[in-house]
């Protein structure tokens, strides 16, 4: 299987602190991968770098054989940790924005998911709860037919009842030619949909294994292994 994402020797510093240090990984297509690590480990920095928002100080990155830039932004769908739409916009305005800006956006898919969530598209973003705003943004991101989905804490602000819907949304809205990279601290919730996991510690790769390998070789869940590796 061809590798969809390639990172080689990535280093990113903030002042004297290195958020990523000589980080390398190759990720194949058709996988849902958990990017796991404690706060400040470099997860968000890696996701932002792959999205093209941040540029590393050293190293190389490729998505679908292309260096990170204008062309890769067309095939990457990115969910930031915090909602970014103006509170004055209506939900349907965000649909129009995505439809105008992204050629691969499937508006009908987004509208159907919003209807399932009972979110009124005439509602203003500012009138919605934090959790509902995050649901809207996830729906928009997952309604693109992208090659790579970069999801930074997609379930961070939603109630437990909505998490299953979010996981189902992720599962049903990507295809075998795409990959999903999910940064999350809700490991026990998301573990059931993961194919592989990356443990990142102090900006370095600590582990990259399939979930099946962990269960067979380590005889434990991803959550249990995470707690062991990071002593939490």
Average pLDDT, stretch 133-142?
92
Question: pLDDT-derived band of residue 121, with 50, 70 and 90 as boundaries?
Answer: very high
pLDDT at 161: 75
Which residue blocks in the chain are alpha helix, DSSP H? Answer: 43-51, 70-73, 91-101, 107-116, 130-142, 160-172, 187-190, 211-213, 222-229
pLDDT attached to residue 232: 59
14: left (phi over 0), alpha (psi -120 to 50) or beta: beta
Q: What is the pLDDT of residues 9-54, one digit of tens each?
A: 999 999 989 999 999 999 999 999 999 999 999 999 999 999 999 9
Q: In what order do the strands lie in the sheet with 17-28?
A: 17-28, 3-14, 58-63, 66-67
pLDDT at residue 113 above 60?
A: yes
Q: How far does Cα 219 stand from its chain's mean position? A: 27
Q: Can you say whether residue 151 is alpha, beta or left, with left for phi > 0 and alpha for psi between -120 and 50 degrees?
A: beta
For the stretch 193-229, pLDDT in tens is: 999 999 999 999 999 999 999 999 999 999 999 999 9
Whole-angstrom distance, CA of residue 202 vs CA of residue 200:
7
Q: Which domains does the chain have, with CATH numbers?
A: 30-56+67-198+210-229 (3.40.50.300)
Contact, 195 vs 34, CB < 8 A?
no
**pLDDT tens per residue across span 56-107:** 999 999 999 999 999 999 999 999 987 778 899 999 999 999 999 999 999 9
Three-state SS at 50: helix
Q: For residues 145 and 174, is the Cβ–Cβ distance under 8 A? A: no
Beta strands 196-201 and 204-210 are antiparallel
Confidence (pLDDT) at 98: 96
Task: Give DSSP secondary structure letters for 55-81.
Answer: --SEEEEEETTEESSHHHHTTEEEE-S
Asked if 166 contacts 192 with a C-beta cutoff of 8 angstroms, the reply is no
pLDDT of 191 reads: 94
Model confidence at 1, pLDDT cuts 50, 70, 90, reads: low
Residue 173: CA count within 13 A, CB half-sphere: 27
Res 159: pLDDT:
77
């Amino acid at each position: 299987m061809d590798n969809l994402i390639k990172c080689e020797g990535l280093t990113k510093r903030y002042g004297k602190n290195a958020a990523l240090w000589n980080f390398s990984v190759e990720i194949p297509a058709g996988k849902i991968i958990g990017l796991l690590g404690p706060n400040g480990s470099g997860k968000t920095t890696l996701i932002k770098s792959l999205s093209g928002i941040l540029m590393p100080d050293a190293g190389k990155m490729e998505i679908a054989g292309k260096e990170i830039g204008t062309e890769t932004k067309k095939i990457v769908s990115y969910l930031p940790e915090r909602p970014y739409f103006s509170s004055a916009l209506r939900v349907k305005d965000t649909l129009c924005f995505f439809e105008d800006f992204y050629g691969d956006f499937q508006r009908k898919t987004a509208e159907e998911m919003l209807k399932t969530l009972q979110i009124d598209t005439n509602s203003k973003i500012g009138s919605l709860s934090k959790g509902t705003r995050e649901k809207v943004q996830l729906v928009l991101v997952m309604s693109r037919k992208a090659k790579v989905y970069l999801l930074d804490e997609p379930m961070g602000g939603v109630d437990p009842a909505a998490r299953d819907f979010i996981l189902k949304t992720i599962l049903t809205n990507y295809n075998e030619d795409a990959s999903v990279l999910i940064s999350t601290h809700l490991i026990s919730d998301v573990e059931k949909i993961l194919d592989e996991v990356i443990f990142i510690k102090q900006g370095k790769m600590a582990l990259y294994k399939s979930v099946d390998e962990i269960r067979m070789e380590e005889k434990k869940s991803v959550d249990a292994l995470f707690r062991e590796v990071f002593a939490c």
